[in-house]
Chain A
Amino acid sequence: DQQVKQNSPSLSVQEGRISILNCDYTNSMFDYFLWYKKYPAEGPTFLISISSIKDKNEDGRFTVFLNKSAKHLSLHIVPSQPGDSAVYFCAAKPASGGYQKVTFGIGTKLQVIP
């Protein structure tokens, strides 16, 4: 049973427009969320994160929104650029305690069309 779900396997967006990648989770113990980006033949690279005490975190062109009541988060990329074409993984973990296992989604492949 997937606790972190990315229901869209792929997304195509025109350059300059907004890309919105969605993620849903089922475990109410999750309260720290991350987005990773992965290019082919490379490992995932950390992109942006958000704690459950916030509902928005912004870093340049990337903004993550968190809706705790809906157990939903989204990553907005604006404006989208061809270099953003990659697979984006949503991840979540509980924040308390020592080791917190990170649970990943299956990924959404974003293609930004020039």
Chain B
Amino acid sequence: ETGVTQTPRHLVMGMTNKKSLKCEQHLGHNAMYWYKQSAKKPLELMFVYNFKEQTENNSVPSRFSPECPNSSHLFLHLHTLQPEDSALYLCASSQDLRDTQYFGPGTRLTVL
């Protein structure tokens, strides 16, 4: 695998479910990001991790819980989501916090 990979690519969940999104980067980068892209809206930054430490939480509701066990892996744990949370969730990584970000293919999430 090369670049940034995300699994699953598609996810449908009910409001009471608990699920997790996974991101893995094979680029040797130190920073990782979660973004949300809703229809007809710009990409919205959610979380930033640098060397496994969270450096940014962009006022994201607590029903989204990130986890970064090492510089190559990033998770987004989901619980009791709302239908308005349905969106494309994109993971990205960069060499450092100032460098260009490289994106994964995204997870298309639908909350019923």
Contact of A46 among B48, B101, B105, B106 (CB under 8 A): B101
How many interface contacts (CB-CB < 8 Å) are there between A and B? 50
| Residues 36-83 of B contacting A (Cβ, < 8 Å) | 40-43, 45, 48, 50, 55-56
- Kindly report which residue of chain B lies nearest to residue A46, judged by CB atoms: B100
Q: Mark B95-110, 1 if CB is under 8 A from A, else 0.
A: 0011011111110000
A98 and B97 CA atoms in complex are apart in Å by 7
Enumerate chain A residues within 8 angstroms of B32, measured Cβ to Cβ.
none
B22 CB, nearest partner CB in chain A, Å: 14
A70 within 8 A of B: no
The DSSP consensus for interface residues of chain A is loop
A43 CB, nearest partner CB in chain B, Å: 3
Size class of the A contact interface (CB-based, 8 Å): 20 to 34
Q: Which of A12-20, A55-63, A73-81, A99-107 contacts B (4 or more CB under 8 A)?
A: A99-107
A108 within 8 A of B: no
Given contacts A4-B42, A44-B103, 12 further A-B contacts (CB under 8 A): A41-B105, A43-B92, A43-B106, A46-B102, A49-B100, A89-B42, A95-B98, A99-B56, A100-B98, A102-B45, A104-B43, A106-B40
- Kindly report which residue of chain B lies nearest to residue A49, judged by CB atoms: B100
A44-B90, A105-B42 in contact; A98/B98 too (CB < 8 A)?
yes
Q: Is the CB of B97 within 8 A of A100?
A: yes
